[in-house]
Amino acid sequence: MTMCSGNILRVLGVMLTAAVACATASAQPWSFTKIVDTDTMVPGRSENFNIGDAFQSISVYGDRVAFRGRSHTGLTGAYEWRNGVGRAVADRTVALPRGGGNFNSVSAVSISATSVTFQGGNGSSVSGYYAENGTTLSRVVDTLDIAPERGIAFNGWGTDHHAEGDSVLFKGYTSTQTSFQGLYRNDGGTLSRVVDMTMSPPNRSDLFSRFYDWRLEGKTTYLTGETTLGYQGIFKHDGGVLSTLVDTTMSLSDGKKLIAVGDVRPYQQEIVFQAFTAPDHQFIASKSGDSIDILVDALSDPPGPSTGYQGINQIDYKSGTLVFGANDFAIYTNYGGQLQRVIGPGDVLNGKLVTGATFYEQGFDGTTAAFWVYFQGDSSFHYDRAIYTVTIPAPGAADLALIPVLALSSARRRRPPAP
């Protein structure tokens, strides 16, 4: 079966904004707000965040920013910042909710209207996902829980999860880390299976072999999966029924066939996703109804001083707006009717020259984006990095003035999933 697309560069737009604390801020359409930097003291501690991997897994909801942080002494935790005030959600001084000692590791932070959720464990026998609502820390699921439809306990987890209200979607393992896996939900304390390796995609007999990406939207789950025969697709699970939205049997209107699909982001009746038509031809596309429209072609020239995206990394899509990070160390958006650069090498924040910016897949809530940047002079002798937020400006705002410098060479490139 071949599905045609409009192959239209459909600019849904994303331009970000909030408050640059420098003299020219008032003249720029965006202003950036610094949340925390490598000189900031860890809440409740006499140490700062001055270390290379100080900021990871940044998530935003309204005026709240959550992230996995690490201090210069190696203390790791989940932290939340709101209106200039930070607090520790959980770190190595905090006990696991139902025994097993204190947290030894914390990672994969997600924030929602009701809580901050994260992956953590004691470094040995107990690990899982946990939620903290500002007063109470509770478990979402851990290795003492039995996997629904499987009948044995979880013993490992995927690297990411997604939280929305009192629902959490996650990947769980019930054998070795590279063996049996499935996607599961916890909705208000009730665990259920979405899909696992005992199941096949619609109208196919080959079983699922792995799951790459997953997102909640109310009671509906969206996911990207692959089968034992290498078939890949993006699927929707709703009311116990699994349906196919996009797969590697489909082609664009120019005849180019999809060879791989990746991250999926739903919004109402639309999905935005990453895909490839060749190992080096990556793009971000939108599907609504039967048409697949290209939003960003990684082989095209990006706006701003960069000479190429050098690969698309993390994406997020909310309220009809796309934000994404690329491997040229810049962040882009398509808000306002045309593809635009938000921040990257050569820009100036607080009087300092930016040399790179990193965006995470839960870094945009539809109004505010959060990300971290590093500045010229950043080194292992003294790290100079910070988390900023930026909010969407009024439509028609002028382009952000950039101070051009040579773009840095690319780092990791997101390619089709390995077989």
pLDDT the model gives residue 25:
30
Lowest mean pLDDT among 191-205, 364-378, 390-404: 390-404
d(CA 120, CA 105): 5
Give the pLDDT of residue 157: 95
Neighbour tally for 133: CB within 10 Å:
13
The structure tokens listed for 404 are 């051009």
Strongest mean pLDDT among 191-195, 255-259, 333-337: 191-195
Output the pLDDT for position 256: 87
Mean pLDDT of 201-213: 97
- Looking at residue 399, its pLDDT comes to 39
Name which residue leads in pLDDT, 175 or 145.
145
pLDDT of 254 higher than 90? no
| Domain 25-391 fold | Methylamine Dehydrogenase; Chain H (2.130.10)
Residues 102-127, mean pLDDT to the nearest whole number: 95
State residue 10's pLDDT score. Answer: 28
Q: 71 and 48 in contact (C-beta within 8 Å)?
A: yes
**Does the pLDDT of residue 32 top 60, yes or no?**
yes
Does pLDDT of 62 surpass 90? Answer: yes
List, as one string, the DSSP characters of 3-69. -------------------STTGGGSS--EEEEEETTSBPTTSS-B--STT-EEEEEEETTEEEEEE
What lies within 8 Å, CB to CB, of 341 at 6+ separation is: 302, 303, 304, 306, 330, 331, 332, 400, 402
Rounded mean pLDDT, 149-159: 93
pLDDT exceeds cutoff 70 at 27: no
Q: Are strands 105-111 and 85-91 parallel, antiparallel or unpaired?
A: unpaired
pLDDT at 199: 98
pLDDT value at residue 392: 67
Q: Label residue 251 by pLDDT band (50, 70, 90).
A: confident
Q: What is the pLDDT of residues 260-311, one digit of tens each?
A: 999 999 999 999 999 999 999 999 999 988 888 899 999 999 998 999 999 9
Please report the pLDDT score of residue 204 as a whole number.
Answer: 98
Over 90: is that where the pLDDT of 30 sits?
Answer: no
The pLDDT of residue 337 is: 67
Per-residue pLDDT of 178-187, as tens digits, reads 689 999 999 9
Indicate the domain borders of the chain: 25-391
Share of the chain above pLDDT 90, in %: 76
